A = this chain, B = another copy of it.
């Protein structure tokens, strides 16, 4: 089935003959903004059932209904990779969330560090960014964006079965080959501009589940480091292999 251009992430189950009711916002978007009418086709995904082609069978100002015609693409879940990052300036934080969603992270955890400026984040706005990235890039999965938590708390509660790949800005030099690393659940940790404080670095070095790695011979901004680390992990241990 040819994939429809307009894509919509819904919460409702998707499947053969399934009717999908629209929220007021979704109806407004499809019928007022995009000016779709009865019979128009929309790509639907919900993060679980792949992409389905839906046909508009009811259209009103604040309500509407789509009917699932057939599956257009199978569900593509990311590997079990999380991204931990320290929020920085607004546009770069948005960018990190968008790129993590595109490159295939399962979960995104903003962490507060000593050199993080942010005291709080707009979790709802970042979650909407992750959703938009999936809608734009033909994705069928939207990573969950958690609320901001202090790094110390995150490390304290950490399940040591999930290893942490730490992009350590003090290791400027050849990038490690990740090919020999154990597969399984991982998280990537990227620090803020200015890096981690000395006590934080000592704490990270003391965690058995943390592996510091170099990301090449150049200093990278935090958003660039996140893209590079996810790419290296995906190609060595993830679903880019």
Q: A117 near B: Cβ within 8 Å?
A: no
A104: B residues at CB distance < 8 A? 216-218
Bound: A219/B136 CA distance, A: 9
A65: B residues at CB distance < 8 A? none
Q: How many residues of A contact B (CB 8 A)?
A: 30
Q: State the number of copies, please.
A: 2
A224 contact from B102, B138, B217, Cβ within 8 A = B102
Interface-centre pick from A136, A215, A217, A240 (highest chain B CB count, 10 A) = A240
Interface-centre pick from A76, A217, A231 (highest chain B CB count, 10 A) = A231
CB nearest to A178 among chain B residues:
B235
A231: B residues at CB distance < 8 A? 227-228, 231-232
**A218 contacts B137, CB within 8 Å?**
yes
Q: A221 near B: Cβ within 8 Å?
A: yes
A240 contact from B95, B102, B217, B241, Cβ within 8 A = B217
A136: B residues at CB distance < 8 A? 221
**B103 contacts A137, CB within 8 Å?**
no
Q: A174 near B: Cβ within 8 Å?
A: yes
Known contacts A227-B227, A231-B227; A220 and B102 CB within 8 A of each other: yes
**B137 contacts A221, CB within 8 Å?**
yes
A227-241 contacts to B, CB under 8 A, are: 227-228, 231-232, 234-235, 239-241
Bound: A216/B102 CA distance, A: 11
Q: A99 near B: Cβ within 8 Å?
A: yes
A139: B residues at CB distance < 8 A? 218-219
**B76 contacts A217, CB within 8 Å?**
yes
Q: A24 near B: Cβ within 8 Å?
A: no
Q: A60 near B: Cβ within 8 Å?
A: no
Bound: A239/B241 CA distance, A: 22
A133-145 vs B: 1/0 string, CB under 8 Å?
A: 0001111000000
Q: A38 near B: Cβ within 8 Å?
A: no
* 9 A-B pairs with C-beta separation under 8 A: A102-B218, A102-B224, A103-B216, A103-B218, A137-B218, A137-B221, A174-B241, A175-B234, A227-B228
